[in-house]
Structure 1
Amino acid sequence: MPNGASPDSGNAGGSGGLYGSLLQLLATLLALLHNRIELFSVELEEEKIRVLRVLAWGAAAFLLLGMGMASLAALIAVALWAEHRVLALGLITLMFVAAGVAALRVAARWVSAPSGLFAASLAELRRDRDELTGS
C-alpha cells in the first residue's frame, strides 16, 4: 500500500463500504425524524387553533345565552309576580337547572370523545416501525 494507506482509507469518504452505509443510514434516519417532528408540529398548531376557536365561540355563546336567560327570567318574574310569585320563581329555577344539566351533558360528551390529536403522526410512526421491523 503506497504512502502508508490502509485498506479502509478509500472508503472513509462515504463513497462506499460499511462506514459510508452507516453514514447514509444515519442521514436517512435523521431526515425521517425531522419529517415526523415537522408533522407533529403542524398537528400541534392545528390543535391549538381549534382549541382557541372553540374557546372563543364557547365564551361568546355563554355570554349571550346567559344574558338571554337573565332576560327571560326577568320577563317571567314580571309577568307572573302579582298573582303567582312562587310559580314564577319555580319556573325560573327549573329553567336554569334544566339548562345547566343540558350543558353538563354536552360537556361530558365532548370530554369523553377522542380528539384524534396527533393521529397522523402516530400513523406515520406506526408505518415506519412496521417497515423497519418488516412486519
Structure 2
Amino acid sequence: MSDAKEPVSAPLRRLGVSMLTLVRIRLELFAIEAQEEKERIAGVLLWAVFAALLAGFGLLMLLVLITVALWDSYRLLALGASTIVLLAAAGFAVAKLRGLLAGPSTLFQSSITELREDADALRRRPGP
C-alpha cells in the first residue's frame, strides 16, 4: 500500500521543490535588480548634484562679472536680466524634472519579464 503512494508523493515533492527553487531564483533576481538600481540612482544623483553646484557657481560668477562690468551705466538692467535668466533656468529645470518623474519606471523589468515567461511556459505545458 505504501508503494502505491510513493510514486504519487515523489512527483508532488519534486514539483514542490521545483516551485520553491523557481520562487527563490526569482526573488534573488529581484534583489539583484534592486541593488543595481539603487547603486545607479545613487551615482546619478551624486553626479547631478555635483554638476548642478558647479554650474550654479559658474553662472553666479558670470552674472557677478556682468553686473560689475555694467555697474556704472546699466546696473539695474544687468541685475534684472540676471534675475530673469536664473528664474527661466529654474523653470526649465522644474519642467524637465516633472517630465522625468512622469516617465515610466523600468525597475524590475527583467524580473517581470521572466515571471511572465514562466507563467506562459506553465500555461503551455500539457496537463496529465
Alignment match, 2:23: 33
Q: Is the 8 A contact 1:11 1:20 kept in 2?
A: no
Measure the CA separation in 1 of the matches of 2:54 and 2:44.
15
Cα deviation, residue 11, structure 1: 5.9
Measure the CA separation in 2 of the matches of 1:113 and 1:46.
20
SS, match of residue 17 in structure 1: helix
Measure the CA separation in 2 of the matches of 1:23 and 1:72.
73
Unmatched segments (≥5 aa) in structure 2: none
Cα deviation, residue 133, structure 1: 2.7
What fraction of aligned residue pairs are identical, expressed as a percent? Answer: 38
Cα deviation, residue 48, structure 1: 0.4
Residue-pair matches, total: 125
* TM-score after normalising by structure 1: 0.85
Measure the CA separation in 1 of the matches of 2:39 and 2:60.
32
Amino acid at match of 1:97: L
Measure the CA separation in 1 of the matches of 2:4 and 2:110.
39
Unmatched segments (≥5 aa) in structure 1: 1-6
Cα deviation, residue 128, structure 1: 1.4
Cα deviation, residue 47, structure 1: 0.3
RMSD: 1.6
- 1:98 to 2:80 alignment: no
* TM-score after normalising by structure 2: 0.89
The runs of 4+ residues in structure 1 deviating greater than 4 Å are none
Q: Is the 8 A contact 1:73 1:92 kept in 2?
A: yes
